[in-house]
Structure 1
Amino acid sequence: MLPPNQRPRSLLQRHRGKLLVSLTGIAALFTTGSVVMFFIKRWLYKQQLRITEQHFIKEQIRRRFEQTQEDSLYTMYELLPVWEMVLNENDLDLDSIVTQLKDQKNQSARSNADKSAESLPLKTKAELWNELELKSLIKLVTVTYTVSSLILLTRLQLNILTRNEYLDSAIKLTMEQESSNKLNNKLYNWVTSWWSSPEDNMGDATVAKKTKKDGQEAYINEQAFLSLSWWILNKGWLNYNEIITGQIESELSGINPRDTLTLEEFSSHLTRIFQNINSQIFQQNNDSLISTFLPRSSGEQEFLLSQTLDPQALAGFHSNTLVFKQLINELTRCIESTATSIVLESLINESFHYIMNKVGVKTMAKKKPEQEDQQHYQMAVFTMSMKDCCQEMLQTAAASPHTGSVNEFLATLDSVQPLDDLSASVYSNFGVSSSYAFKS
């Protein structure tokens, strides 16, 4: 019989193998579990980081979109004074006619006082009122169509450029991050240092110089693209004006300043004018609309650029016009699309309601106290109301979003929902940076 102190040792020796296997299995299981948990936590962290980055990117895209729409409105405030000067230079200066009416009596009195004085023939009071009546409505409707087109063009231009700028920035950021990762890899730097040479560094400098040149050329191309607003303000609006003048002369024939109309009758006349103009502008296969927005021939395009770019920039532009052509192609497809025509028509309809509301309020305000029950107004009263309304639509001297005082007409057009929808569609079309396709 073995001594008592040897029995536990024999039992331990007998089960030592099983114990080691069990401990090894437990350790392996624990290690595996720890590794799995590590990778799961790492995966969850990356997923959370990716979601956070996506939210950040979406927020950046949203903020940039909102800023672009604000920039479009600020641009309109800068363009309106220029547009008003163009109108006045093209025989649509209504204030000069009003001045002639005020001075007409004085001029007649001076002429009668000096019988032997030779003077130029003066327009009669009736002739001046007829001219004011016609030109007030022509200017009012011309402003409606031109400003609606201009705010639409500005939205399309800036959203196209902002989207492309955002894509370029995202691509550059990605490349910089990849380059940074490579630089942080010591093994990569150690390996590549064996075959890098001074010529490689010179090549990098050449690439950087070329990139800078390409950036300058792209900037000039973008400035040329933005200068298209000059075309509407100086040339394109004449397409509208010709159609508008013909329709107004036809509709107002036989209506004199002394004739009386109700607000409903005046609204009916104005409605027919807008309907007839729309039928001509938006009719199928009509180049009137695209010719208003863009120069069609190479000669017209070259004239536009010569008016908007300085000689040095123009020479740089001619050396590389690729970006400009791509932008023009996309913009042309946008303008030719059904969606854009619908938006422009929505802007014009909103303008019509704005005009009728303003003219109605101003006309009733001109009613004399003893005429409170009168429903008819002389056409001359409507004429002055249209003149005042047109002046407010073009007013930007005291109005600016920066000062808190805004142009009500611009604010009305800027808030038209179809315009925002089209802008969002163009801005978010991130998949077409190279092809510049537009989904109508």
Structure 2
Amino acid sequence: MMFQFLRDLYRRHRKKLLITTGVAAVSYMIGIYVRNKVREFQEQLKEENATRDLIKKRFSQTQKDCYMTFLSFLPVLVEPIYKELDVEEITKELKLSRKNKSLVPDGKSELNSEDLSSSKNENARNGEESIDQKLGDQVLSGAITGETKLSKTKVELWQELKVKSLTRFLTLIYSETLLIILLHLQLNIISRKSYLKTALKLASKNQGIRLVDLESEESKNTVDKDLPEQAFLSFTWWLLNKGWAKLRNIVNESVESVFNEISLREEISIEEFGNLMFEVQKNIDSRLFEERSSYELYDNLQEDNAPGTSDDARTLTLISMMLPSQSDEFKLLQETNTVEFLTNFNSNISNVKMLQRMNEELKGYLKSEQVHEISRTISTIGISTIIQNVDRSLHVKQESKNGGPTAASGNDPEKQEQEPQPAPTTRWKLAFILAVLSPQTHELANRRINNPVLYTMNNVNELDDLSASVYSNFDI
């Protein structure tokens, strides 16, 4: 009886039951499909996030590597500049000249004990600084002004001291600026290439893509994939050994054009000194970014000035300082690498092609207005930071001599109490400014990690933007 009832019920509602069952089955299948899609989407999102984190981590580490590499190269860059522009040697000659001519009848020197003690206290941190500061004290105390007429030799020494101290300061600023830019471009190009290899291997593992199908033609059969990168980094040698000398000549001519007629005894404010330095900087920048024939630019950087050793094409002066000409590339590799490296490198044409491709990309960035603006920004920050340090040192020294805050000369204290006025701009003899500038310049040669001047120069936002654009350029 019960079975009959169920059969009758099924016959009456068979259509509804079939529809309901079908809908339930379809809903179940759709649910499974949606869950699978959601799971795939979540896994894909997780992989993308992991990839982004990997890119950020690699990018951040690359920027740290750029700074550490810069500090490791710093002694190599600084040593020849200090040797060529030996300001301290000129200072010693002037001190010796002064010592031989400054004795008065009672046998005492015109350089009094106050000058010596103030110099000693100011320069306890650096032995070389005491020489420069004593020299500045001699100027302020009348060691130069006490003579009605200086000999030609001494005049030439003072002129040489003025030009060399400024030339050394700006040569260090600009050569370090170019080295910072060069290393950021090189290391980000190499790091991006390394990351791309990792990403391709990850894709071949997770997505079943054959890695050999994704690699470029040049990467096939390469004996050692690190050889092109090593050769690429070898070109840093050019700036460290050749390019800075060309830069020094430009800086020297620019300094002379602005400071040649300014006497060391002329009193100027630190703002006026900064404006003069800005004029020198504009002159240097205009010459760095001018385009000239490769033969003209590279010829005076060769040890053997044989005609026809350079290309006939036109090149930016900036590039000629940072990279060798195409005809000098192999010679540079010979001078900076072992015979074994050269043998392995030349054993496969793909190494040469990859090196050429990286060099062309590097030159493309160096020609861009973005790099030109970054160069101006970094050099300006370096110059401004040092001048600010000079300003602080000048005021500290003046306050220590006066026993209190710097007083404006020629002002009546009673009048100041009755009618407060803004303090007039303090003016200093140019010789005294340069005497303080020289020890401050030593910060540019200090390779400690927390060096505030170098760290600030290396971490401008514009440089990070350039590095990011290089690192994310996968279309080459």
SS of the residue 1:55 aligns to: helix
Q: Considering only aligned residues, what root-mean-square deviation do their CA atoms show, in Å?
A: 2.9
- How far is the alpha carbon of 1:357 from its aligned partner? 1.0
C-alpha distance after superposition, 1:233-274 (max 9, x if no partner): 111122221111111112222334333322233223212111
CA distance in 1, matches of 2:3, 2:44: 59
* Residue of structure 2 in register with 1:142 after alignment: 171
Aligned pair partner of 1:413 in 437, 443, 457: 457
Q: Is the CA contact (8 Å cut-off) linking 2:444 and 2:453 kept in structure 1?
A: yes
The answer as to 2:437 corresponding to 1:386 is yes
The equivalent position to 1:326 in structure 2, one of 336, 346, 357, is: 357
Q: Does structure 1 residue 364 correspond to structure 2 residue 413?
A: no
Q: Is the 8 A contact 2:70 2:180 kept in 1?
A: yes
**In the alignment, is the contact (CA less than 8 A) between 1:366 and 1:381 conserved in 2?**
no
Rounded to whole Å, the distance in 2 between the matches of 1:88 and 1:263 is 25
Q: Does 1:281 align with 2:332?
A: no
Counterpart secondary structure, 2:190: helix
1:251 lines up with 2:276 in the alignment: no
8 A Cα contact 1:355 1:389, kept in partner: yes
Q: Which has the larger radius of gyration?
A: 1
Which of 87, 110, 116 does residue 94 from structure 1 map onto? 87
CA deviation string 1:285-341 (max 9, x = no partner): 66211111111231x212321222111112222233121111001101111112111
Is the 2:223–2:344 Cα contact (8 Å) retained in structure 1?
Answer: no
Q: Distance in 2 between matches of 1:360 and 1:229?
A: 35
- Number of aligned residues: 377
The aligned counterpart of 2:64 is 70
Contact 2:243 2:322 in 1 (8 A): yes
Q: Does 1:373 align with 2:404?
A: no
Aligned to 1:227: 234
The reply to whether residue 261 of structure 1 matches residue 268 of structure 2 is yes
Deviation at 1:391, TM superposition (A): 0.6
| 8 Å Cα contact 1:236-1:292 kept in structure 2 | yes
Per the normalisation by structure 1, the TM-score is 0.78
State the partner residue of 2:215. Answer: none
- SS of the residue corresponding to residue 261 of structure 1 reads strand
Among 52, 55, 67, which residue is 1:58 paired with?
A: 52
Instruction: Map 1:150-299 onto structure 2 (within 5 A).
Output: 150-178=179-207, 214=222, 216=224, 218-283=225-290, 287-298=316-327
Residue in 1 aligned with 2:333?
305
Structure with greater helix share of residues: 1
Query: Is the CA contact 2:81–2:172 (under 8 Å) kept in the aligned structure 1?
Result: no
Which of 130, 134, 139 is equivalent to 2:159? 130
Quickly say closer, same or farther: Cα 1:340–1:211, change in 2 above 3 A: closer
Superposed CA offset, 1:361-416 (max 9, x none):
223333362474353322221112221121111111xx12xxxxx11121111221
Equivalent residue, structure 1, for 2:413:
none
| Whole-angstrom CA distance in 2 between matches of 1:250 and 1:362 | 27
The answer to which of 171-180 and 273-282 deviates more is 171-180
Query: In structure 1, how many angstroms separate the alpha carbons of the residues matched to 2:252 and 2:276?
Result: 14
Structure 2: gaps spanning 5 or more residues: 103-150, 213-217, 293-314, 410-425
Encode CA deviations 1:204-228: one digit per residue, 9 max, x unaligned.
9xxxxx9896261x31110111122
CA contact (8 A) 1:73 1:414 kept: yes
Query: What amino acid is aligned across from residue 354 of structure 1 in structure 2?
Result: T
1:396-411 to 2 correspondence within 5 Å? 396=447, 399-400=448-449, 406-411=450-455
